[in-house]
Amino acid sequence: MRFTKMEGCGNDYIYVNGFEEKVAQEQKPRLARALSDRHFGIGADGLIFINPAQDADFEMEMYNADGSRAEMCGNGIRCVGKYVYDKGLTDEERISVVSAGKIKYLDLTVNRPADRPGDRGQVTLVRVNMGRPILEPEKIPVIASGNRVIDEPITVDGREYRMTCVSMGNPHAVVFGKGVADLDIEKIGPSFERHERFPNRVNTEFVEIMDRKTIFMRVWERGTGETLACGTGSCAAAVACILNGLTDPVVTVRLLGGELTVEWDQRQESVYMTGPAVTVFEGTV
């Protein structure tokens, strides 16, 4: 089976062309676990199949490193955009991608060499319309009494935190604080992920406000652990910042693996995420 290793801000995935490679559905979780292993496999935060789709240009079928299905990944979907253009599966610079039944729209920035007029170029940057942030607790899901979870207390491992919960197609709990760079995320991350208030587990973003336009974030992703970046998490963090009056509507999110720009256009009810997409290497397994 041929594969392509790609990353967006260090959030890396193994991509497989589902138009050509046929893998039995029941084998995909096991394959995701084996290939994602950084010691005995290729090494990645997960496995993504790029498939034909009926209601969109392409389907993104995504698995976490532990083999569980994931609904959405902002960094992952940007790399899908780069893959399908660079591989010649599309000539369009605006495409649609469906994942877990939800369609996202991608605008591709193509770098064409000035000294090679006939070269169609390659994608370097992708802007994704991530859609409307979901704030209703039962749809995130998170167990709560009100109609939104904004700056709400939660006790984890005997300590009280304040969280704001958002879904960008997958569940996020955003926690603000100081000293995020020194946080023992390997200890606290799993406790948040499997807390009883999150029926489907949760991704947790630990965010430090730098100024009105900039935040620093570390993320614990369910089914994977700490990753160098999380696109949906960056969107959720930006939305949480705005809901709490901490930043402007356009936010630069600094991550361990790079930077993303997130804009929440409340008039259009859409969150836009812009960031890089990079091919690392290709191979056969």
List of E strands, the chain: 2-8, 11-17, 46-51, 58-64, 69-70, 94-99, 102-111, 122-129, 152-156, 159-167, 171-176, 203-211, 214-221, 225-227, 250-255, 258-265, 270-276, 278-284
- Which of the residues are catalytic? 73, 230
Angle at 37 between CA 14 and CA 175, to 5 degrees: 80
Q: What percentage of the chain's residues is helix, strand, coil (to nearest 5)?
A: 20, 45, 40
User: In sequence order, which residues have a C-beta less than 8 Å from that of residue 80 and are 6 or more positions away?
Assistant: 15, 48, 50, 58, 60, 97, 106
Coil/strand/helix, residue 180: helix
Residues 6 or more apart in contact with residue 204 via CB below 8 angstroms: 172, 173, 174, 175, 188, 189, 192, 193, 219, 220
Query: In 3D, which of 59, 55, 56, 47 has the Cα closest to residue 19?
Result: 59
